[in-house]
């Protein structure tokens, strides 16, 4: 079922379906909080000890190129990954490595309107992302 979805994603991008690619995609989906490459290789190795680290990196690169996953920028210097989806923003905890998604259509509209009015010279906007930095006041999700 879930496997079937992954296979479909790969086929849609005309990528070959390999056990390694499925394993990496499962890892990113299975791990929450926007895992680092290392977390991903760790997860993959637990479930498939025979998959090489270098392969995981190559698969990640392929996924990013094909927009199946996206890189997330952090305050720190480690790259994180997430399965690619709608436009969304991120809440960064300033005291831990927690990252959560923030999606809100009103916000997107607001930004779009703002930049339509503002009209930056010499720059064509393709994407806008907010980094909302602060502190989580409990362990629950932020979602309303």
Binding site for DNA (CB under 7 A): 10-11, 15-21, 36-38, 50-55, 57-59, 61-62, 77-79
C-alpha torsion 19→17→53→55, nearest 10? 140
What six digits make up the tokens of 64?
Answer: 């990013």
| Rounded least distance, CB 28 to DNA, Å | 13
Q: Binds 120, which of DNA, a copy of itself, none (CB < 5 to 8 A, cut-off by type)?
A: a copy of itself
Long-range contacts of 70-73 (CB under 8 A, 24+ apart): 72/34, 72/99, 73/131
**Backbone angles phi and psi of 37, in degrees to 5:** -60, -35
Least distance CB 128 / a copy of itself (angstroms): 5
Find the part of the chain contacting a copy of itself (CB under 8 A) among 1-9, 15-23, 45-53, 68-76.
Answer: 68-76
Of 76, 44, 75, residue with least CA distance to 57: 44
Compute the distance between CA of residue 63 and CA of residue 6 in angstroms, rounded to an integer: 12
Residue list 89-108, contact with a copy of itself (CB under 8 A): 91, 94, 102, 104, 106-107
Contacts to a copy of itself by CB under 8 A: 71, 73-75, 77-79, 91, 94, 102, 104, 106-107, 110-111, 114, 118, 120-138, 140-142, 144
């Amino acid at each position: 079922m879930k496997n079937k979805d992954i296979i479909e994603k790969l086929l849609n991008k005309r990528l070959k379906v390999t056990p390694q690619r499925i394993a990496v995609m499962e890892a990113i989906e299975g791990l929450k909080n926007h895992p680092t490459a290392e977390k991903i290789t760790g997860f993959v190795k637990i479930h498939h000890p025979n998959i090489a680290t270098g392969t995981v990196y190559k698969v990640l690169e392929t996924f990013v190129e094909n927009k199946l996953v996206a890189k997330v920028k952090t305050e720190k210097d480690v790259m994180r990954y997430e399965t690619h989806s709608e436009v969304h923003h991120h809440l960064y905890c300033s005291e831990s490595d927690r990252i959560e998604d923030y999606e809100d259509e009103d916000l997107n509209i607001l930004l779009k309107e703002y930049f339509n009015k503002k009209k930056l010279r010499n720059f064509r906007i393709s994407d806008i992302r907010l980094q909302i930095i602060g502190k989580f006041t409990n362990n629950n999700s932020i979602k309303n």
